[in-house]
Structures are given as C-alpha cells and as structure tokens.
Amino acid sequence: MDGLTTYVDLVSLLIEENHDGRREAERLADKYGARVVGAIPPLNLYQLRLPARDLVQRDALVLRIGSETSVDAVVVEESAPEKGEETDAARRPVDKPDSDSDEWAANRFMDAVNYYQRRVRARQAPLETRPVRIGVIERDVDFDAPDFADYLGPCKAPAPRTCLYARDAERPDNHGSTVAGILAARWDQGGNSGFLRGLDRASQGFEVIVERNSDAGITANVAASVNLVEDGVRVLNWSWGIHRVGARDVDGDEVDSLVRSGIAMSGYEELLEEFFLWLRKEHPDVLVVNSAGNGSSYSGTDEYRLPSSFVTEQLLVVGGHQRSERQGLAVDDPAYAVKRSTSNVDMRVDVTAAACTHASTLERDARGEVHCGTSYATPMVAGTVAAMLSLNPRLRPEEIRMLLRRSAMTIGGDYDFEPADAEDLTAPILPSERGYRLDHRDVGRSARLDMQKALDLAVKSRERVR
C-alpha cells in the first residue's frame, strides 16, 4: 500500500464519550470475531485484534466497525514512528557542521547553566526551586555509554540530582540515547552533555523518564504519554511526527520519508485531538514540546503533518537551525545561525533551536558522530521549559510560550511579517512580544531560543502578577 508497512489485524477504536468504553469494545469484539488486546482508558480507546488475513478483509472490517454509532473513529496503524533524522533516501544531501562546531552557543547553553547555578545559590537572595519530572517518548537509552553509566542502580545521592529512567539499549548512538543525552548526559565524558545534569547542585533535581514500550506506532506514543502524564510529568518531549502521503516540501516536491496513508492520518488526527482535549480538561499544566519535522515542508498544514499542526496552548513546536559560516558575529545577530535546510517551517513553529549534537559513545572521552534533526532541537527547548518550571512551578503553558518568545533572539531576515517566498521559519515576533515597540529591530523576524534569558524571565515572573 503506497510502499508503506501496515498492520493487517490490529486497529484501535475511539469509543464515543457517552458509552462505557470497555463494555462497548468487548461487545464489538464479540460481534466481529475480534479480541480486545490493549486500551488507553482515559481516552476511551481500545485496541482490537481482528480476524483479518489481508488488507481487503481488514478494510472491510474497518468500514463496518466505523459505521457503528458508538465508534467515534477507527485508528489504523502503519509502520514505526519517526526516527528523527532523514533517511539515506532523502533527495538532497544534508550538510552537517564540523564536529568541533559549538552549535549550542547559538542558544546560549553554557550561559544558561552558569546563570541558573549562580542565581539559585546567590548569597543575598537565594531562590527556592522545585523538582520537575520530564517524560521523553523514546524506546531506550544505552547505559553502557559513559554518558549514562552513573545512572545504573537506584538514583540516590546526598543532595538532589538529575535522575534518568529508561530501558537499556544495545547501541549508544541510537535516537533515544541522543535525545535523552541532551537532557541528562553526564558532563565531560565525551559524547553529549545534558542541560539538566548541568544544573545539579543548584536544582532540587529533575526526573527524566524515557518510555515507549510497544511497537504499535503512533498509538504507542500516545499511550506512553498518557501514562507519563498520570505519573506526574510537567513536560513531554515528542521528538517525532509524520507526514501524509502526497505532502509537498517548500520546493513543491513530494516528501518521501516518514509518510502515512490518508486512512491512517485520519485516525491519528482523531486520536491526537482526543489526547489534547483530555490534557486540557484533566492536566492543563502539562506542556508537550514537539519537533517540527525534517521534511523541508510545512509544520502547520493539518491535512499533511501531525502532530505539529495542532493549534493548542499545550503544544509547543520547535524548528531547527545550525551555525552560519560567517565569522565574528555577535550571538544575538540574526545571521549568527541559519535555518537547517531540512527543517520544516511556517508560522506554527514557535521557536527554533540547535538541530545538531554529538551522539554518545562507548569510549570515555571520545567524540561521537554528529547527529542532526529537529528531534535534537526539541529537548533543548524541553530542558529549558523544565528549568523554567523548577524556578516558577506556577507557570502555565501559555505563559511559558510567551516567555520563550519574549526572551528569544532572532534568526533570518526582517520580512515585515510576510516573507516574499512565504517561508516563515517561525511565527514572526510581534510588537507585543517586544514591549509594543513597532520600531524594534526584532519585530517581523523569526524566534531563536535564548536559554539564559528565558530562565531570567522565569525568575522575574515569580514576583510579577498578570
């Protein structure tokens, strides 16, 4: 089917709210000769194993079950979730920065760590911080790597510290290890350096939980997210996303990676909508940080890209940039960084962050291979959000977005709100985000994460009442 891998006998049913989900799913399973094999009860979603041997039989059952008045939507699963980087089959060659390029300088990574350490422990006005729990939707982390070796065993220490919980991976350079490493990797061991780990001794500790214990596609991502939210996470890192077959990039060519069929996308859209409705109702303080995607396409076209196209205050979308080749520029110069050529764009993107990082290695003090993608920009923002919440746990998702954009540096040209080629890197910075100054030099440009200033505004927000 369009060259896609799909489950023939596995579908999920979103049951209407006015029905007892479990009872109705069992009734439908008996009626159609299926078995209930999984569930996400808070979303009234139940997974069925169908008596189908091919796509014709499956599609016939999907049509019949979907016509039941108690069924809101049928979710068909296709292949695996996004791996974060473009495949080798991508059309254009992707240039990676040199291995010694300090990509994170474009987001003031070290300035942010230094600021947090000094400000929290200031002698005259020390700050009380709170522990924060972060959920990362990834498969596993390699604890044999020096970056993560000291997380083995119970996470106990005389003082609060960053803790990492995950299943053990076989390779240190896998997607989960790289994403989690940006948050929690031990410093000075080669490979990665975790932002939250750098805040130890000043913070009250961060818990990073990596969870995705299933192969059932996007439904597994949502199921793990529900579990993590119910376990108390305030921030969810979603370094994944999908395109519909037929999605076009900025050059008008078809996106040829991480694609799903129309029937699968329709089900996923209903599932994700149900998730965000539940999140708003039951957990309005949780923020999901999602990668914009690596298809050189548009993040906000809801018929072609999920989940970044959803418009909700609890979803923050992150694009990717890398250092420009120009020398001698100040870090706040808009030309200090340039858009990553594969990063998805448009006004649904809230902020950009460094897209390239080093993978973890098995050798101590060895420098890992450079990995690039919006998957790795996302934990830069998620880590910043977690640090902001540790400084002011009362911040709401919409306030976090506002502070991130008010504190942001800029990237790209001044297009006066409408680029000639219609390629907004992010939503343009508005006068209201710069003190209502119409003549401010940042107005109309795209937003680039400033980790240090975001933390500073979070500290100031403790004393300000809006």
pLDDT in tens, 310-327: 999 999 999 999 999 888
Average pLDDT over residues 164-175: 93
d(CA 345, CA 320): 9
- Note down the domain range covering 155: 103-461
Residues 101-120 have a mean pLDDT of 94
Q: Are residues 74 and 118 in the same domain?
A: no
pLDDT tops 60 at residue 85: no
Which residue has better confidence, 465 or 75? 75
Tokens representing 146 are 């020096």
Q: How far apart are CA 317 and CA 288, in angstroms?
A: 9
Decide if 90 is inside a domain. no
pLDDT exceeds cutoff 60 at 20: yes
For the cut 70, the answer to whether the pLDDT of residue 416 exceeds it is: no
pLDDT band, very low/low/confident/very high, at 11 (cuts 50, 70, 90):
very high
d(CA 426, CA 159): 40
Q: Note whether residue 87 is domain-resident.
A: no
Contact 257, 89 (CB under 8 A): yes
Of 44-58, 232-246, 415-429, highest mean pLDDT: 44-58
- pLDDT cut 70: percent of the chain above it: 87
Q: What is the mean pLDDT of residues 246-257?
A: 67
| Residue 38 Cα to chain centre, angstroms | 25
Q: What pLDDT band is residue 461 in, cutting at 50, 70 and 90?
A: very high
Decide which of 368 and 21 is more confident: 21
CB 318 within 8 A of CB 377: yes
What pTM does this model have? 0.92
d(C-alpha 208, C-alpha 134), whole Å: 5
Q: Is residue 246 part of a domain?
A: yes
403 lies in the same domain as 438: yes
CA 122, CA 456: separation in Å to the nearest integer? Answer: 14
pLDDT of residue 138: 94
The helix/strand/coil state of 397 is: helix
Identify the CATH number of the domain in which residue 42 sits.
3.30.70.80
**In this structure, what CATH number is given to the domain that contains residue 319?**
3.40.50.200
C-alpha angle 281-176-77 in degrees, rounded to nearest 5: 60
Confidence of residue 155 (pLDDT cuts 50, 70, 90): confident
Does the pLDDT at position 260 exceed 70?
Answer: yes
Number of domains forming the structure of the chain: 2
Domain end: 45, 78, 111, which one? 78
**Residues 25 and 129 both lie in one domain:** no
Q: What is the per-residue pLDDT for 105?
A: 94
pLDDT for res 83: 47
The residue that leads in pLDDT, 117 or 364, is: 117
Q: What average pLDDT does the segment 189-194 reach? A: 84
* Residues 117, 190 share a domain: yes
At 422, the pLDDT band (50, 70, 90 cuts) reads very low
Same domain, 52 and 118: no
For residue 274, the model assigns a pLDDT of 97
Residue 206: the pLDDT is 98
Tokens, residue 25: 């799913």
The set of residues, in sequence order, having a beta carbon less than 8 Å from that of 218 and lying 6+ positions away, is 77, 81, 242, 268, 271, 272, 306
Q: Cα separations (Å) of 181 from 95, 113, 314, 371, 462?
A: 22, 16, 24, 12, 29
Residue scoring higher pLDDT (303 or 18)? 18
